[in-house]
């Protein structure tokens, strides 16, 4: 099993939430094409901040290819999973974590959004529990890679004793019996490193441009 993980930067342009949706589509298309992927072979992890459930998990197949990418999005989820090869999962991010989970024994990957709303509902642990219940995954076979995210200094999680997104996500993943050695965190703070978009810094007036960077994962 070989998993390709890609993370865009500001140089690639915004991957979501700019007025010109055609610009976003072109940015996504160019970013994916540069790494041997395409819109039609990708699925968007589309978030929706409504209601009180931020643990919406779904498996996607080749039948879902292109959803939210080269056609209208029909899937609302906080994490997507697939057994398919060459089907990319694509998640735009502001300051939150995109977690890529690999079941290297069964050939399954997942891409989970772990932001404040998700973590308040124990999203790190619940993501792993879904894989155990849905696919029969064993925690000892799972490996997790965390994307850059907002750091503790500028984005403390008040509900978690002002700890960072990365620290809370790691704790929740480990509570699901993922070994620490199987978790690769990111040391990049999006509120400090300006090669990544930061929505929180834009709202504070510290960035001229708002936007989203993206993480994509595909199994080869």
Looking at residue 78, its pLDDT comes to 98
- Kindly report the backbone phi and psi dihedral angles of residue 203, in degrees, each rounded to the nearest multiple of 5, phi listed first: -65, -30
Number of domains in the chain: 1
The enclosing domain of 105 has a CATH number of: 3.60.140.10
217: left (phi over 0), alpha (psi -120 to 50) or beta: beta
Q: Quick one: tokens of 46?
A: 């589309």
Looking at residue 18, its pLDDT comes to 73
81 in helix, strand or coil?
A: strand
With 0-12 CB in 10 A as exposed, 13-18 as middle and 19+ as buried, what is 17? middle
Tell me the pTM. 0.96
The sheet carrying 183-184 orders its strands as 57-59, 79-82, 108-114, 97-103, 142-146, 183-184
Looking at residue 50, its pLDDT comes to 87
pLDDT < 50: residue spans in the chain: none
Looking at residue 20, its pLDDT comes to 76
The answer to whether the beta carbons of residues 100 and 215 sit under 8 Å apart is yes
* Structural domain containing residue 195: 3-219
């Amino acid at each position: 099993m070989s998993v390709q993980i890609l993370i865009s930067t500001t140089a690639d342009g915004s991957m979501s939430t700019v007025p010109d949706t055609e610009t976003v589509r072109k940015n996504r298309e160019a970013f994916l094409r540069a790494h041997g992927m395409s819109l039609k072979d990708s699925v968007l992890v589309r978030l929706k901040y409504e209601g009180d459930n931020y643990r919406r998990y779904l498996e996607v197949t080749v039948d879902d290819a292109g959803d939210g990418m080269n056609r209208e999005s029909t899937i609302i989820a906080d994490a997507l999973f697939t057994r398919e090869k060459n089907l990319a999962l694509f998640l735009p991010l502001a300051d939150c974590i995109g977690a890529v989970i690999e079941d290297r024994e069964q050939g399954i990957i997942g891409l989970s959004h772990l932001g404040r709303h998700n973590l308040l509902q124990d999203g790190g642990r619940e993501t792993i529990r879904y894989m155990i219940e849905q696919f029969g995954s064993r925690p000892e076979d799972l490996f997790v890679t965390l994307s850059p995210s907002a750091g503790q200094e500028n984005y403390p999680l008040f509900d978690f004793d002002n700890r960072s997104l990365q620290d809370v996500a790691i704790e929740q993943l480990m509570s699901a019996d993922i070994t620490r050695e199987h978790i690769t965190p990111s040391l990049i703070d999006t509120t400090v490193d300006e090669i990544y978009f930061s929505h929180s810094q834009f709202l504070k007036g510290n960035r001229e441009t708002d936007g989203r960077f993206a993480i994509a994962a595909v199994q080869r």
